[in-house]
Amino acid sequence: MSAAKRIKVTIDGIEVSVPEGTSIWDAARQAGIDIPVLCHSPRLRPVGVCRMCVVDIGQRVMAASCVRLCEDGMKVDASSPKVQKHRKMLTQLLLSDYPEKSQRELKTGDDQLLALARRFGIERIPFADGAATGGRGSDSSSPVIDVDHQACILCDKCLRGCNELQHNDVITRTGKGYTARIAFDLNAPMGDSTCVSCGECMAVCPTGALTNKPVAPVGAGRRGANR
């Protein structure tokens, strides 16, 4: 296989040389620049839906760096106040619908949306509380995973994890617009679906939407304990 042609891009003033076909996000990582993401992971096909990774490439609108490919001579601004402002606004939008307690933060301390809130120093959310009125519901029918739809940011990672990594083909988005949500099979409770409990969806989820149930205390007293 012949090597791809190499091109040069400049990101925040740092010049990097990358093979043609490299995304701006990957090139930035090579340059030591960490562009924040929620819907992207190097393990998954990039989809550019959270828009957190937008960068300024001097065009009419910003580009999502996880899906946008480098072009020779491109100049990328990944960290200016202008770019940061949009990332902050996106974070505030998502936080406005976020439940008060994140299952992920409570159980494993690695909620990525809250991490971004801290990274951007967000002090206020100027939007109405979308989590206050009833909420989008939860689903604890699975033997291993707790689903909190209110914490779901529709990042599509669970879909890609389930359908493209594990090929179990269970998860979809259903509905449309603001009321879109994830669903299992024909919108069945997770525990009633063809889910095989591989846990990939939980593993890739960045928020408290999909978390592990606590390890159940195993059958104490069931069929006699060995003392």
Partner 1 sequence: MKAFRLDDTKSASATAALKQVDSLCPYCGVGCALTFSVDEASNRIVDVKGRDGAANAERLCVKGRYGFDYAMHPQRLTQPLIRKPGSYPKGPLSAISKSGGGARKPGGSFDYDEVLPHFREASWDEALDLAAGRLKEIRDARGGDALAGFGSAKGSNEEAYLFQKLVRAAFGTNNVDHCTRLCHASSVAALLEGIGSGAVTNVVRDIERADVAIVTGCNPTDNHPVAATFMKDAAGQGTKLIVINPRRPQIADFAAMYLQPNPGSDVALYNGMMQVMIAEDLIDRDFIARRVDGFDELREIVSHYSPERVAKLTGLPAQDIVDAARLFGRAKAAMIFWGMGISQHTFGTDNARCLIALAMITGNVGRPGTGLHPLRGQNNVQGASDAGLIPMVYPDYQSVKDPKIQTKFEKYWGVKLSPKIGLTVTEIMGAALAGSVKGMYMMGENPFLSDPDINKVRKALSALEFLVVQDIFLTETAEFADVVLPASSFMEKAGTYTNTDRRVQIGRPALTPPGAARQDWELICEISNRMGYPMKYASVEAVFDEFAACTEEYKTLNYEHLGSYGKWYPCFDPKTSPGERIVFGDAFPCGKAKLVPAQISAPNESPDRDYPFVLNTGRVLSHWHTGSMTRRSHALDTIEPEAFVEMHPDDAAALRLRDGDWARVASRRGEIQLRVRVRDRVSPGAVFIPMHFREAAANVLTNPAIDPIGKIPTFKFCAVRVTRLES
Partner 2 sequence: MKLLMKMMHLQEQHGAVTDAMLRDLSESERVPLHRLEGLRGFYPVFRSEPGRRRQVQVCRDMTCLMRGGPDFCRQIRTALAGADDVDVEEVSCLGRCDAAPAAAINDVPVSGSPTDIAALAAAMKSLPSNEPTANPRRWPTDPYENDAQRYGVLRDHVAGDDRSRDAFIQSLKDADLRGLGGAAFPTGMKWELTRKARGAPKYVVCNADESEPGTFKDRVLLEELPHLLIEAMALAGWTIGATQGIIYLRHEYAKERKALQREIENARARGALGKRIFGSATDFDLEIFVSPGGYILGEETALLEALEDKRGEPRNKPPFPTDHGLWGKPTLMNNVETFCAIPIILARGAKWWAAQGRRGYKGLKFMCVSGDVPTPGVYCVPWGTSVAELLAMCGGMAGGKNLYAFSPGGASTNILPASKRDVALDFKALQDAGSSLGTGAMVFIAEGRDLLQLAMSEVKFFRNESCGKCVPCRVGSHKAVELIESATAGRPVPDLIELLRELNATLVQTSICGLGQVALAPLMSAISNFPEDIRPKLETGVKVSR
Q: Which residues bind partner 1 (CB under 8 A)?
A: 43, 95-96, 101-102, 105-111, 114, 117-118, 121-130, 143-144, 165-167, 196-200, 203, 212, 215-216, 218-227
Task: Give the strand pairing for 138-139 and 6-11.
Answer: unpaired
Q: How far apart are CA 175 and CA 28, in angstroms?
A: 35
When the beta carbons of 177 and 224 are compared against partner 2, the nearer one is: 177
**Count, residues near partner 2 per rule CB under 8 A:** 45
Q: Contact between 94 and partner 2 (CB under 8 A)?
A: yes
For residue 172, the minimal CB distance to partner 2 (Å) is: 4
When the beta carbons of 126 and 177 are compared against partner 1, the nearer one is: 126
Distance of CA 114 to CAs 52, 81, 87, 94, 177, Å? 14, 20, 13, 10, 23
For residue 139, the minimal CB distance to partner 2 (Å) is: 15
Compute the Cα dihedral for 206, 207, 213, 214 and give only its sign: positive
Distance of CA 171 to CAs 151, 165, 167, Å? 16, 12, 10
**What's 49's DSSP letter?**
-
When the beta carbons of 57 and 90 are compared against partner 1, the nearer one is: 90
Binding site for partner 2 (CB under 8 A): 47-52, 54, 61-62, 64, 67-69, 85-86, 89-90, 93-94, 96-97, 126-128, 153-154, 163, 169-180, 183-187, 194
